[in-house]
Amino acid sequence: MDESIFKLVNVHFSYLNRFSALCGIDMEVKKGEKIAILGANGSGKSTLLQLLDALIFPNKGDIFASGRQLLETDFNDPEFCRKFRSRVGLVFQNPDIQLFCPTVKEDIYFGPLQLGIEKNEAEKRIDKIVGDLGIGGLLDRAPHQLSVGEKRKVAIATVLVIEPEIILLDEPTAGLDPQTSRHIIDIIIEANERGKTIVTATHDLHIVEEIADRAYILNREKQVAKFGPAQELLSDTELLREHNLTHMHKHRHNGQAHIHPHQHLDHHQH
């Protein structure tokens, strides 16, 4: 137990050495944890997930994956690369980046083919995930012809089919209708119950309690403002407001205007 999956020590990243995106992040993810990354637009959530997925590398500071420092040069070794990509999967915030094949079916087959998963096994997994996500009717369609929500479901399928030990999800419920969103959360929770480690960037506070035991809030300075048990962070209304995670409701009662913070936990009372 308590096996370290990722450890970040004073990680800095800037795009093109000009646009600062993360400034000194310390973080640890342990095996089997569910973690949420929260923060305002532009606070660095997607950048953090891309660093964990080794798509980009720190300008300063270190990232350790299972105790071994992640170095760009390691990825020149095809075997290291294959193992890492089999172990860690990222669902991008923008599904258009994830889906690039002429058909949905080819997109879902792409990962297993690339990673050398045996054909029968790949087909078994694909049938299961396509059934679970209810996307059977989309298989012969071109990804660009799908609705945003349909694209997101297909993007999630392209990662889950690889059965990675660590699943990184960037705003997985954005643009999904409430029932589809519920369904995706159930799939994420079920994967975690099977031992998968889950890291989710989201603005959707309604899902945080379910998809996270612990949460990190990033601030505008692109640092960790606070981390701790998800429940604890969620109950700190002032902290959430400070980081654009809750909004003020404005409405009228008996002709008088009222402004109060949006209570994201209201749904538990109904």
Footprint on this chain of ligand ATP (rule: CB under 6 A): 15, 19, 21, 39, 41-47, 93
- Looking at beta carbons only, is 93 or 246 nearer to ligand ATP? 93
Work out how close the CB of 21 gets to Mg ion at its nearest, in angstroms, rounded to a whole number: 10
List the structure tokens of 106. Answer: 């080819």
Work out how close the CB of 229 gets to ligand ATP at its nearest, in angstroms, rounded to a whole number: 22
Q: Among 93, 173, 181, 192, which residue sits at the site for Mg ion (rule: CB under 5 A)?
A: 93
Task: Tell me, residue by residue from 41 to 70, as one string, x for binding to Mg ion by CB under 5 A and - for no binding.
Answer: ----xx------------------------
Residue 41 interacts, among ligand ATP, Mg ion, none and using kind-specific CB cut-offs from 5 to 8 Å, with: ligand ATP
Q: Report the site for Mg ion in 98-157 (rule: CB under 5 A).
A: none
Closest among 145, 164, 148, 133 to 104, alpha carbons compared: 145
Closest among 252, 244, 249 to 261, alpha carbons compared: 249
Residue 19 interacts, among Mg ion, ligand ATP, none and using kind-specific CB cut-offs from 5 to 8 Å, with: ligand ATP
Write the DSSP symbol of residue 101.
Answer: S
> What is the Cα 56 distance to its own chain's centre?
16
C-alpha span between 43 and 228 (Å, rounded): 18
Strand arrangement, sheet containing 224-229: 88-91, 166-170, 197-201, 34-39, 214-218, 224-229
Segment interacting with Mg ion, rule: CB under 5 A, options 87-95, 123-131, 151-159, 183-191: 87-95
C-alpha span between 35 and 7 (Å, rounded): 13
Give the three-class secondary structure for 154.
helix
Q: Kindly report the number of other CB atoms within 10 A of residue 183's CB atom.
A: 17
2 contacts 30 by C-beta, under 8 angstroms: yes
- Looking at beta carbons only, is 15 or 100 nearer to ligand ATP? 15
Measured at CB, which residue is nearest to Mg ion? 46
- Looking at beta carbons only, is 104 or 155 nearer to ligand ATP? 155
Residue 100 interacts, among Mg ion, ligand ATP, none and using kind-specific CB cut-offs from 5 to 8 Å, with: none
List the structure tokens of 100. Answer: 């690039």
C-alpha span between 130 and 161 (Å, rounded): 9
Work out how close the CB of 45 gets to ligand ATP at its nearest, in angstroms, rounded to a whole number: 3
Work out how close the CB of 118 gets to ligand ATP at its nearest, in angstroms, rounded to a whole number: 36
Give me the residues that bind Mg ion (CB under 5 A), please. 45-46, 93
